[in-house]
Amino acid sequence: MEKYGYRFSFGPWNIHEGADPFGPPVRPSLTFDEKLKVFNDLGFDAVQFHDDDAVPDLDDLSASEIAKQARAMRRRLEDHGLVAEFVAPRLWEHPMTIDGAFTSNDPKAREYAIERSKKAADIGRELGTNLMVLWLAREGTYMREAKDAVQATHRLLEAVNTLLEYDPQLRIAIEPKPNEPMDLAYIPTIGHALALGFQASDPSRVGALVETAHAVLAGLDPADEMSFALAFDKLWSVHLNDQNGLKFDQDRSFGSVDLRRAFNQVRVLDENRFYEKGMVGLDVKALRTQPAELATKHLRNSLHMFLRLVEVVRSLDRERINELIAARDYEELDWLILSALTGG
Ligand code: 3MF
Ligand code: MG
């Protein structure tokens, strides 16, 4: 498979049992080793980790036990010819994070969030990656008057600074999302993420991860969100998927809802040589209707869709496009793109 210099990753949570808020699992769990085989079979290069994907039950373990288990995980990756792309602290499941992690009103909860994130940094170091993704899942409110948004912003900045100081090699990519699980999140867009990063104690070590569905949920265009970060060399990873309108976060296969929107994401990534900068991460879920033995096709489809769109992007007649832009004939440009997308 020609990958045009791109490397691809996904997280073990993207092979899942199909539970949703209204119904139980519909597929058996795969073991971690079975999942690693899927990475190999489908041609992926790297694994994205939540801290406890790498070291289960880390809250109950000593620092040395965490390091030992993380090293064992690294060997398992190596056995499969894989590397870790990033580690993300899972700050949304523990009872301490019910009302937020870094922005909780409870100082003990805030302390827990910092300690947990330091452990995630330790795990990343052992796995051989200095990239931490911060999806700030519960940093926001269900009840707007329940927290002070100015103070919350300062608390987020303080948390980022504490982690940068804790590990001088660490790079933090903030993954914004406007809602879900919170009603309203504090860092809903790339603009918010980068503003926070530029205020940090070492701005060179704070960047961003753009997820397609999260941008759509914020009413924004994912390709433009990526471009904004690319303009400042701050796009350190992506979570490609798709999203059908303003509803729950669907994590549909890349390009399956809006092909042109997918094309434009690939276009800005390819035009800005993203293959030299970061990995193409997928954050896609199999439809609940997929039987167990067919529940990895969303990953296959997304990767292949990306590669097909790279081919479309690279096949475009640049000279013709520039002529059309100069002539301000955007309808003809529209037709040129639609023709390319329909094989014409
Ligand atoms: C939620 C997400 C998350 C993050 C992941 C890594 C479960 O909408 O997208 O996936 O991507 O936690 O940061
Ligand atoms: Mg994501």
Tens digit of pLDDT for each residue in 137-163? 999 999 999 999 999 999 999 999 999
Mean pLDDT throughout 319-341? 98
Structure tokens at 275: 């293959």
Structural Rg of the chain based on CA atoms: 20
CATH of the domain at 215: 3.20.20.150
pLDDT number for residue 344 = 78
Backbone φ, ψ for residue 134 (5° rounding): -110, 100
**Distance between CA atoms of residues 244 and 255, nearest Å:** 11
Please indicate, yes or no, if residue 2 is contained in any of the structural domains. Answer: no
Would you say residue 249 lies in a domain? yes
User: Position 273: which residue type?
Assistant: R
Reply yes or no: is the peptide bond before residue 181 cis, omega within 30 of 0.
Answer: yes
Task: With respect to residue 202, please indicate whether it lies within any of the assigned structural domains.
Answer: yes
CA quadruple 75, 76, 79, 81: dihedral sign: negative
- Binned at pLDDT 50, 70 and 90, residue 187 comes out as very high
Query: Could you tell me where the beta strands, DSSP code E, fall in the chain?
Result: 8-10, 46-50, 83-88, 131-135, 140-141, 171-175, 184-185, 206-211, 235-240, 279-282
Average pLDDT, integer, range 79-94: 98
Ligand 1 mutation pick, 175, 180, 247, max ligand atoms within 8 A of CB: 175
Domain containing 231 equals 8-342
In a domain, 333, yes or no: yes
Known catalytic residue at 50: yes
How close is the Cα of 308 to the center of ligand 2, in Å?
22
What would the mean pLDDT of 14-25 be, rounded to a whole number? 97
Strand pairing of 184-185 and 206-211?
Answer: unpaired
Judge whether residue 309 has pLDDT over 90: yes
Ligand 2: distance of its center to the CA of 283 in Å?
5
Q: How far apart are CA 165 and CA 118, in angstroms?
A: 10
Domains: count for the chain:
1
pLDDT at 105 over 90: yes
Mutate which of 136, 182, 283, 284 for ligand 1? The one with the most ligand atoms within 8 Å of its CB, which is 283
- Let me know if residue 3 belongs to a domain: no
Q: DSSP of 59-111, one letter per residue?
A: GGS-HHHHHHHHHHHHHHHHHTT-EEEEEE---SSSGGGTT-STT-SSHHHHH
Does residue 137 contact residue 92 with C-beta atoms inside 8 Å? yes
Q: Does 1 map to a domain?
A: no
* Residue 328 pLDDT exceeds 90: yes
219: pLDDT strictly greater than 90 = yes
Task: Report yes or no on 214 lying in a domain.
Answer: yes
Ligand 1, residue 90: give the atom nearest the CA: 12
Mean pLDDT of 156-172: 98
46 is a domain residue? yes
pLDDT band at 213 (very low <50, low <70, confident <90, very high): very high
